[in-house]
Each structure stands twice: as structure tokens, then as C-alpha cells.
């Protein structure tokens, strides 16, 4: 779903303001929702925002470290301190602005934790094509060199990426684009990422194909009950060759992300880093026990 459509849906709901709901703003009223006494869980921070948007630190939107005082970072300091006080949780911090993350996080951790990286915090960047990968790699590499655990979200995948130079990351998540105006992603883009991860012992998680899926050209009936012809494919590159490595020629169709699914070469790819896998398995165990009536405690909330 596009940003403008999502903003209209959320305006005035779920704590979002009625006017301009996606404008960058802090939510200090939610900072105390995470507590040291809670069961361990994996928390995405934030799920629909960016802690390092420049407008959060300077009203002009121009970020220069020497012009940003500690008072402007008070909210980020509070968030990092919450992460420090809740070592049972794993926090995934994803940004499209790794330069600001690289500048601020080590600086503030020097005050909070003597500069020592938090082992329960994962710092990640979102990249969608080679240009963004080249722009953002050095900043995440710098954080990794300081001892931070790092990951990449290759979603939405909008082009192939040469993964050489990314060997320092600890996890790679990949997926296609969804929502109105979504563009298809070629299977070979994900295969390249998967195979590169395998060669460097990096966990690979394939999240989804997104809005577009693969169907054979001949006689395939789609969810709507209507057949499609090769000419109706959006991306001509996806019509060529043999994307499924089989004798049948395949073609792209807009199926919706649920129908398109998340199988890559016939299977799911759900690899998780050990720290995250341990919490995920524990959560699954609790839910399974509840379904059998052997554990009356509530399941841990998800964020």
C-alpha cells in the first residue's frame, strides 16, 4: 500500500493525528510501553517510521552533527536507554538514513553505556537497488566495525544488487513490493542474495513476493477466474528467459501478496540469527501451550 493511501487510512486513528499523520514526530507517550519485566520479544523500532529522520532533530530538515545538541537528542537518548534497561528484548532499528544513525548512536551510547554497543540492538539499513546499496554501505559498515550487530532489509527489491562488500552484516531480509503501483521483482535478484548469504554463512529471510507473482503463460487461471496473456505482463524483462529454471515459460501477474506467497524455488526461507531465533521459538512455544490449555498466561505482545 502506498504511503499516501496508508496515511489516509490512519488519519485520526490508532494514535495518529488527523492532519498529516505521517509527519515525523516523536511519541514520548509510548516510550514506557516496553518494560524490563516483560517476556522477551523481538521489537521493530519503529514499525512505520524512522528514528533518524532529519526533521526530528532540526526543523529545517538539514542535519549537521555539530549543530545538533544533546537536548535535541533527548527522545532518542530515552529510547536507547529503554533498550539498555531491557536486555531480554531484541530491538530491530531500521533506517534509510544510516549517516545520521552512524553519527548519533555512538555519540549517545558514550553517555549511556560507556560507548559499548548494546548486544540486544540490531541496526539496519533499507536498500532497494544498487545505487542505494552503494550510498548506505559505508555507514553501516562503520557501525559494524564499532561492534554493533547489523542487518539489511532488501525490500522492496527494485533492482539487482552486487553484494560484494556486505560481508560484515549479520542478517539479510528480502522481499518484493506490495500495494498500488507495486513493481515486480525478478527471482534472480532474490536468488543472488540467498546464494551470497549461503556462501558467507549469513541468515537469509525471504519475506514475500509482494503484489506480483509468477504464473505459467499457458492456461493459467488466476484468483479472479480470468486468464491472462503474455502481453498483459507489466515488466517485459520478467517475460523473457526462464525465471523458475524449468522448461515451462513463466510470466508475471498481479496476484496480490497473499496469493503470490513467499516461496522461493519451491520453499520458504526463514533463516534467523541465533539470538532472534531463540526468542521466536520461545514465543511459538508459549502460543502452542496456550492453544492446548496448558498455559494460562497471556502471549507476549508483538510490536
- Check: CB of residue 216 under 8 Å from CB of residue 251: yes
Please provide the average confidence, as pLDDT, over all residues in the chain: 79
pLDDT per position as a tens digit, 138-172: 999 999 999 999 999 999 999 999 999 999 999 99
- Map out the domains of the chain as residue ranges: 1-27, 28-214+266-291
Query: Which is nearest to 102 in space by CA: 69, 135, 144?
Result: 144
Helix (H, G, I), strand (E, B) or coil at 281: helix
pLDDT per position as a tens digit, 26-39: 788 888 899 999 99
9-18, 67-76, 127-136, 214-223: range with highest mean pLDDT: 127-136
* pLDDT the model gives residue 24: 76
Q: Under 8 Å CB-to-CB from 63, ≥6 apart: which residues?
A: 54, 57, 99, 100, 103
CA distances 100 to 4, 94, 155, 186, Å, are 25, 12, 21, 31
Q: The cell 537528542 sits on which residue?
A: 73
Lowest mean pLDDT among 15-24, 148-157, 204-213, 267-276: 15-24
Q: pTM value?
A: 0.80
- Check: CB of residue 145 under 8 Å from CB of residue 176: no
Res 81 pLDDT > 90: yes
- Check: CB of residue 260 under 8 Å from CB of residue 208: yes
* pLDDT the model gives residue 182: 87
* pLDDT the model gives residue 170: 98
Res 6 pLDDT > 80: no
Do strands 250-254 and 212-216 pair parallel, antiparallel, or not at all (unpaired)? antiparallel
Helix (H, G, I), strand (E, B) or coil at 122: strand
State how far the Cα of 252 lies from the Cα of 184, in Å rounded to an integer. 8
Res 232 pLDDT > 90: no
Amino acid at each position: 500500500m502506498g504511503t499516501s493511501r496508508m496515511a489516509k487510512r490512519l488519519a485520526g486513528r490508532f494514535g495518529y493525528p488527523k492532519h498529516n499523520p505521517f509527519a515525523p514526530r516523536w511519541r514520548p507517550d509510548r516510550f514506557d510501553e516496553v518494560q524490563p519485566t516483560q517476556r522477551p520479544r523481538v521489537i521493530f523500532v519503529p514499525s512505520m517510521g524512522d528514528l533518524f529522520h532529519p526533521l526530528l532533530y532540526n526543523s529545517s530538515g538539514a542535519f549537521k552533527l555539530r549543530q545538533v545538541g544533546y537536548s535535541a537528542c533527548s527522545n532518542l537518548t530515552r529510547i536507547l536507554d529503554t533498550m539498555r534497561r531491557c536486555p531480554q528484548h531484541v530491538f530491530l532499528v531500521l533506517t534509510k538514513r544510516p549517516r545520521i544513525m552512524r553519527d548519533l548512536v555512538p555519540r549517545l551510547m558514550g553517555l549511556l553505556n560507556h560507548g559499548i554497543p548494546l548486544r540486544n540492538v540490531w541496526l539496519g539499513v533499507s536498500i532497494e537497488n544498487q545505487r542505494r546499496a552503494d550510498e548506505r554501505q559505508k555507514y553501516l559498515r562503520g557501525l559494524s566495525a564499532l561492534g554493533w550487530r547489523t542487518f539489511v532489509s532488501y525490500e522492496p527489491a527494485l533492482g539487482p544488487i552486487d553484494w560484494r562488500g556486505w560481508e560484515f552484516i549479520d542478517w539479510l531480509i528480502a522481499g518484493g513490493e506490495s500495494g498500488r503501483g507495486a513493481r515486480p521483482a525478478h527471482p534472480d535478484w532474490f536468488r543472488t542474495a540467498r546464494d551470497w548469504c549461503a556462501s558467507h554463512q549469513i541468515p537469509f529471510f525471504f519475506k514475500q513476493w509482494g503484489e506480483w507473482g509468477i504464473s505459467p503463460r499457458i492456461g493459467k487461471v488466476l484468483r479472479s477466474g480470468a486468464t491472462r496473456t503474455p502481453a498483459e505482463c507489466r515488466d517485459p524483462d520478467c517475460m523473457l528467459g526462464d525465471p523458475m529454471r524449468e522448461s515451462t515459460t513463466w510470466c508475471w501477474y498481479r496476484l496480490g501478496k497473499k496469493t503470490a506467497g513467499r516461496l522461493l524455488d519451491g520453499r520458504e526461507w526463514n533463516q534467523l540469527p541465533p539470538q532472534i531465533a531463540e526468542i521466536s521459538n520461545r514465543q511459538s512455544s508459549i502460543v502452542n501451550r496456550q492453544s492446548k490449555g496448558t498455559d494460562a498466561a497471556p502471549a507476549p505482545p508483538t510490536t
